[in-house]
Chains A and B, each alone.
Chain A
Amino acid sequence: MKVYDVLPPASIRAGFYRAAAPWKDVAVVEFGPEGTMHYVQSNVRGETGHFFATGLKEKQIIFGDTENLEQAILEVDRRLKPGWMIVMSSPVSEIIGADLRAVCCKTQRQVQAVLSVWDQLPVEADEFRGKRKAYEMAASYLKKIASELPESQPEGILVLGLSEVDYNGVSDLNEIRRMMQDYLGMPLLNDELGRYALRDVKRARWILTVEPEAEPLAAAAQELWGIPRYQGVPYGLNGCKELMAAAEQATGLRPNDRWEQELKEAAYVIRQFHTGMENRRPRGVFLDIRPSRMAAMENFLTKELELKVTHPHQTASAVSTDGAVTRELAIAPDDILLASGLLCSLYRSNDSICLEDPVVRQRTFSRHLPLMGLWGAENFLTLFYPLLL
């Protein structure tokens, strides 16, 4: 057992749900108690109306009764008409060893959706593994239905791993949308909340994966239809330059003059920041965000803004009974925290900017305040600079 006096890592299931939330043509049915589904839905920001639980009850545990699950599959198929339905185990159904595959074999003939099962989940695994699993399964699904999809012309850019599920995700996505539209004349295939249908992946001209866990899906699209892909997080000017270079290479479209002009303006803002920092007491930044964004943000902070950054590090847990590893938070009293909402809130005497999972008071009112992209770099400085004064 592992003991946490802070927040334990989110589970593999939580990661799976976060990855699957933006998929418009997918439904997930979990064979488990309803309380877990309530927690899932309050934890995943954004659309969750396609996630269901069967409400596992004592009778089903004692007698191994799976009739509720069969009914749920039929109902969801009739009501939502998803292209793909994932039937998932819960911690309780794992213990009683419910045979989900048998249920799906039995019901597959009665539904129009393609049924897939995800069971025998590891008892301990982090959310990033869950996200990767979701995208791997999506890749398999695409391969399975590829021959049935109609012919289509490449229509736009598809962004994977950035949506309303992520804190500030809609703002960040819309900044990427603006950059692609304004500088390259290319639309995004994601809707205004970042959602998309898996069937529409084929219509992409280029795929940008903001989370590396989404790579298996992008790789499948490349393998099936030759769609080029790029993985990166556009934090800071360097991140933006890399993004635009990759977009140019993949699409053959050259960014227009506006890109050069706005890049110069953003570079001027960063120079202003350095001028403002002259003769000021340097302050450290404690950075604790999801691993997939850590390197990009750290590059921006250290290489472009010339700040000193520290991270949490792994150490033996003081409260664990089996010497388990946990994260030690060496936060100095003067550090500025760039971290999750909870961490920022628990260290109230430190200045902070919430970059992940906000608590209520940290939610932004605006859907137009990106921290990614060209405008995002300037916004970040607008939030960050006053903390240094």
Chain B
Amino acid sequence: MRMHLRDYTRAVDVPRYTCAISPGKHCPLFGVGIVFQGMAGVTLIYIGPQDCVYYAQTDTLLRQLASARTGGPQVRTLAVQLSDSDLIFGIRPQLEKLLEKEARREDTNAVFLVTSCSVEVLSEDLRGTVDAVAARTGKRIALIPIENFKTFSYFEGTEKALAALTAGLKPLPRREKSFAVLGARKRGADESEPVRWLLERGYTLQSILPYETNAEKVEHLPEAAFTLVMEGCGLEVAKQLERDYHIPYVRFDRRLDLQHIVQAWRELSALVGADRETWIEEQLREIGQMEEVVSAKVSGTTFFYSQTTIYPFEACLFLSRLGMEPLCIFQGSVRDKEADARLALAKRADPVLWQNADQSALRAMLEEQLPDYFVGATGGTIREYPVLAFSFPTGRVDAGFAYYKTCLRRILAAQRMEGNR
């Protein structure tokens, strides 16, 4: 069944083009692994059937190798493989024993227990077990329940892990001129526009969560004077830190909405006590000129959208404001945090929505109606069709006006595919 933007209810309700998924989205266990790399003093326990713990442990060990290469600290990870009898008779007594043993290790400050689908389907009360051992040992022990069958994408695993990691931190005195970056999964945040500006003004970057942090830095998060949210997966943590420790946050995650970029810069300027209005005006003037050039080229054209880690409706609204018309949106792994971009876009267009750009879905839609532009990864199927293609950068973390301008340049640099079909 087909869904159009104006029929949208929830991200999870957007249909898949096919019931035969290959390869599908990442498991949220993968999203958890992203957070804990390099966390010395932490024991991460994956519990589940052989398949799940094998894959999750492989992924974590590979991340450890990457961390070891840069001399970074290591998280201790355990894979707990369930047996027949565990599934039939339950796992509480054995698990309690294991958690206690781990919590009492001298070099362990915290234990995180990560479940998988099968454990959740069995509905055993693991939270009770975790709380009991935490009370007995005085160590931080947290449960991260993972249910792939309930989640939209692996980002939810990352969000849950970040929430568990930063919950219950001890309040600390505020350190002036220090800040933390939240939600950066990849490198580059320290060179992004707002961070560079803060560093130039003598501010200290306390940590980049989850890309570059460790247990000690997490413990010191409550010291930060403020936080910057770079991607959506950091938003809930930012709210949690504001709620629990009164640490204000500035959202730079809405990277393709000019109004929000201006707002973020104004909020940051106010926090720092600097006047950036002249600079903001300059940026807006420059962007206005660039938009005129881009618009002259793309206005009246159509596009398919399939980027996986950028807010889809916000990105399509950005393109729509340049005069482009979305015909089809493949949602990907990230969903917009607010409804405003979607509602604004729905007033301008009513594209078809699909869950993600499975090759069969992409091919079928391209056969049905060929757009002028394709926005997303340009491997495989898309090369067979005569469309202009570009993608917004996602390899490095960036934000602010700089990122917005880079995206405008990307549109101008669109490549024509061979279209040998």
Contact = CB atoms under 8 A, between A and B. Distances in A.
A54 B24 CA distance: 9
Nearest to A54: B19
A54 B149 contact: no
Contact of B87 (A11, A123, A348): A123
Contacts of A52: 20-22
Contacts of B78: 3-5, 319
B119 to A, nearest CB: 10
Contacts, number: 184
Contacts of B400: none
B51 to A, nearest CB: 5
A17 to B, nearest CB: 10
B19 A68 contact: yes
Contact of A35 (B26, B82, B95): B26
Interface string A319-338: 10110000000000000000
A254 interface: no
A36 B52 contact: yes
A188 to B, nearest CB: 28
A51 B22 contact: yes
Interface stretch (B61-69, B134-142, B280-288, B318-326): B61-69
Q: Taking each of B23, B48, B87, which has the highest tally of chain A beta carbons within 10 Å of its own beta carbon?
A: B23
Interface in B40-76: 47-55, 57-59, 61-62, 65, 68, 76
Interface stretch (A89-97, A147-155, A156-164, A377-385): A89-97
A34 interface: yes
A8 B26 contact: no
Contacts of A43: 55, 58
Given A7-B54, A35-B30, A53 B21 contact: yes
B50 A123 contact: yes
A14 interface: yes
B21 A54 contact: yes
A76 B59 CA distance: 29
Contacts of B47: 1
Interface in A55-76: 55-58, 60-61, 68-69, 71-72, 75-76
B98 A38 contact: no
B16 A4 contact: no
Nearest to A37: B24
A321 B98 contact: yes
Contacts of A6: 61
B29 A35 contact: yes
Nearest to A91: B49
A306 interface: no
B122 A95 contact: yes
Interface string B1-43: 0000000000000001011111111111110000000000000
A81 to B, nearest CB: 13
Contacts of B62: 342, 359
A91 B23 contact: no
B290 to A, nearest CB: 38
B269 interface: no
Interface of B: 16, 18-30, 47-55, 57-59, 61-62, 65, 68, 76-84, 86-87, 91, 94-95, 97-98, 101, 117-118, 121-122, 147-150, 154, 360
30 contacts: A1-B80, A2-B80, A4-B81, A8-B53, A8-B81, A11-B50, A34-B148, A35-B24, A35-B26, A35-B28, A35-B29, A37-B21, A37-B22, A39-B30, A39-B55, A39-B59, A53-B22, A54-B19, A55-B21, A71-B19, A72-B18, A75-B20, A91-B51, A91-B52, A123-B84, A123-B87, A125-B50, A321-B94, A342-B58, A345-B68
Interface of A: 1-14, 29, 33-43, 48-49, 51-58, 60-61, 68-69, 71-72, 75-76, 79, 90-92, 95-96, 122-125, 319, 321-322, 342, 345-346, 348, 359
Given A8-B57, A35-B25, A52-B20, 17 more contacts: A1-B80, A1-B86, A1-B95, A3-B98, A9-B54, A35-B24, A39-B51, A39-B59, A43-B55, A48-B22, A51-B23, A54-B21, A58-B150, A91-B51, A124-B50, A124-B84, A321-B98
